[in-house]
Amino acid sequence: MDSIDDLNKRFGIPGQMTFKGGRGGLTVAEINNQHASAIVFLHGAHVTSFKPRGQEEVIFLSGLSRFESSIPIRGGIPISWPWFADHPTDKSKPAHGFARTYNWDVRGTEVDGGASRVRLGLSDNQHTWSLWPHAFDLEIEIGVGKELHLDLIAKNTGEEDFTISQAFHSYYHVSEIKKIFVQGVEGCNYVDKVDSFKKKYQEGQVEIMEETDRIYLDTSNDCVIHDPGFNRKIRISKQGSKSTVIWNPWVAKAHHMKDLGDQDYTRFVCVETTNAGEDLRTVPPGSEHILRAKIRIETQ
């Protein structure tokens, strides 16, 4: 792995992007430009902060998160890949795959129209083959400007098809969970993971008043988090996705999560850009699939 000095010499952008030691000694890219600031950990290619100028922080990060190289960060935008949630056949394998606990390589940085961009990459190795026997190249491009852009590009570098499920498992910072609501999945069927995976129908906007874990099906719509307390809306647009997950652990589950404070559930909602549930993606040799999300703030 490149040293921080080497990263700054090769990829630093004076006045906009600096690589430095972050919490737990993990390396971060710290981005500041005329439009916004952001923090990206190389561990997991994990965005932990996005703050447009004059706005509250958009991303929730747990104060109890353990910043260790072998475990995922709690909060931010974890990358679930190459499977979402539990492994489909082997529950002993790590939930949400392995991409979120690997140190990714820096592949490039640039300035584009006032926005700062960083490209990070991960390829198959002996350890990934022990968990998922496929050759791949995975790259994420993160753009920080007036909006936050995320492109996750999964390339099949092997000789046979592979099938993935995946997610930007995004934690959004809200003023009070009981006072916000989410629009964009009205009229959609969803799988209710809290209620024995029953399939249900969404009537109207989503309000979070209890533990919520839902996979919304056959939807490519924008989702909008309305937050009167912060006087803003968070709009999440996407491409390459036909499913959306909305999650909040609520009281009991939050209490049993060692890296989440007992009251933290009141300050975030996960609205996840996914290929989940029925929305699996098969990638032939030499091909790629791009999962794309765009996050922007609008006035309430």
Q: Which residues does 120 contact at the CB level (< 8 Å), separation at least 6?
A: 40, 42, 45, 104, 105, 106, 107, 139, 140, 142
- What number does CATH give the domain 4-299? 2.70.98.10
Residues recorded for the chain: 300
pLDDT of 80 reads 98
How many CB atoms lie under 10 A from the CB of residue 63? 10
The reported pLDDT for the residue numbered 90 is: 95
Residue 76 is predicted with a pLDDT of: 98
Interatomic CA distance for residues 60 and 52, integer angstroms: 14
Say whether 6 sits in a helix, a strand or coil: helix
CB of 216 closer than 8 Å to CB of 200: no
Token readout for 24 is: 């737990």
Q: Tell me, what's the pLDDT at 151?
A: 98
pLDDT of residue 57: 98
CB 206 within 8 A of CB 236: no
Output the six-digit token pair for 120. 């990070």
Domain ranges of the chain: 4-299
Residue 228 tokens, joined: 């009167």
Q: Rounded mean pLDDT of the chain?
A: 97
Q: What does the pLDDT look like over 241-262, one tens digit per residue?
A: 999 999 999 999 999 999 999 9
- Sequence-distant (≥ 6) Cβ neighbours of residue 129 within 8 angstroms: none
C-alpha dihedral over 59, 65, 67, 72, to 10 degrees?
A: -80
- Spatial separation of the C-alpha atoms in residues 174 and 232, rounded to whole Å: 10
- Is 164 within 8 Å of 82 (Cβ atoms)? yes
Give φ, ψ of 178 to 5 degrees.
-75, -10
In this prediction, residue 179 carries a pLDDT of 98
Per-residue pLDDT at 2: 84
Q: Rounded distance, CA 60 to CA 298, Å?
A: 18
Express each pLDDT in 160-177 by its tens digit: 999 999 999 999 999 999
> Using an 8 Å Cβ cutoff, are 102 and 139 in contact?
no
Long-range contacts of 4-10 (CB under 8 A, 24+ apart): 7/106, 10/106
**In the chain, which residues have pLDDT < 50?**
none
